[in-house]
Amino acid sequence: MATYDKDVWPITPGEVHITGEVPSTKRFLSGLYSLDTSLADATGRTGVPIRGSLEIYGRWETGKSTLGYYLAGRVSDVGKIVLIDLEGGAREDYLKSAVAQAGFVGELHRVEFGKSDAPRSHEDMLKEGADALLDDEVRCLMLDSAAMTQPLPEREGDIEEAFMGRRAQVLAKFIRRCNSWINSAKEDKLLIVINHMLQSMDGFGKMSPGGDTLKFGIHTRLWISRDDTLPYGAFTSEIEVDKLRFGGKNKERKGRVAIIPTVGVSPELTAAFDTFTLKKGRRQAGTGMVQYLKDGAWVDVALLKDLIKELLDGKRDSFAPFFEILKNHEG
């Protein structure tokens, strides 16, 4: 029987000096309180991790792309955004509004599909987008979506022909290329990947396209699901943090976002709903009156439909009490 030298204990902690570049763990505040706090690290720092990659995935019409546009605008500030819109569904007027909601001032460049008689391959578009990260002015690259990525052999092959794993291979190369450029960049940058949730091939459960490399290479994954339907077509979606580098998975890591279809993410409406979660604001059942708690008493603001109409008219003053509550909230 093997013997063990018990004199090995106790082990006294040593002292480590790290040389070379240490990966950044910086964060930026999205202005969406519950999302920012759900992404807090072990030291309590809140906000969306930057200098890495972020995947937003979920079912259709949950606000995936809209949230992506907003976060791209927030992280870029006055830089430059590059969009690979493989779905081809981003209307120019809505795209401008959804990004502007984040306070973004600058250029948004859409990678071109090419001409009808000479369409570009998705591989070529992905390469252009990834290499745009070498530009110091580009702060965010967004792919919409991973699920719509079509490898060239699939596009040029017979429609009944199978191309198992080709999309995953293309996306794996794309993610590795982007991560390499982001890690070596002078400026902090973010890759945002929009993805869908599809039926798994065995018929049981769901899956997001892209293979394991996409999941491993992405630093932060957010699952988004539609939550509540509001007046004027607005809605809220719940966000669950599925993966957080250096943070792990935690069922309590949840946030909420409010979206107005013709506008984009609404930080104002999101703030109101975040106070509801904190029990410092509420929407009265039946009447729809929105209230906030002040000095132990409920104060009327307006009906929810009227508040949304104010936002559609460009008015935001009524939401000041909700922002004040969130600024002063502790815990």
pLDDT at 260: 98
- The reported pTM is 0.91
In this structure, the number of other CB atoms found within 10 A of the CB of residue 120 comes to 15
DSSP conformation class of 7: G
**According to the model, what pLDDT value does residue 214 have?**
84
Q: How far apart are CA 260 and CA 34, in angstroms?
A: 18
| The pLDDT of residue 6 | 79
Q: What's the CA gap between 269 and 319, in Å, rounded?
A: 8
Both tokens of 154, joined, read: 């699939």
Q: Where in the chain is the domain with CATH 3.40.50.300?
A: 49-226
Strand-strand pairing, 138-144 and 235-244? unpaired
Q: Which of 246, 253, 165, 245 is nearest to 212 (CA)?
A: 165
Q: Which long-range contacts (CB under 8 A, 24 or more apart) does 306-313 make?
A: 307/269, 307/272, 308/230, 308/231, 308/232, 308/234, 308/260, 308/269, 309/231, 309/232, 311/260, 311/263, 311/266, 311/268, 311/269, 312/232, 312/260, 312/262, 312/263
Q: CB neighbours (10 Å) of residue 331?
A: 4
| Tokens 């972020």 belong to residue | 54
Q: What is the pLDDT along the chain (331 residues), one digit of tens a residue?
A: 677 887 888 899 999 988 887 666 789 999 999 999 999 988 888 999 999 999 999 999 999 999 999 999 999 977 899 999 999 888 999 999 999 999 999 999 999 988 777 789 999 999 999 999 999 999 999 999 998 888 887 776 666 666 667 888 999 999 999 999 999 998 999 999 999 987 665 555 567 777 787 888 999 999 999 999 999 999 999 999 999 986 655 567 999 999 999 999 999 999 999 999 999 999 999 899 999 999 999 999 999 999 999 999 999 999 999 999 999 997 6
Q: Distance (Å, rounded) from C-alpha 87 to C-alpha 103?
A: 25
Q: Please give the CATH superfamily to which domain 49-226 belongs.
A: P-loop containing nucleotide triphosphate hydrolases (3.40.50.300)
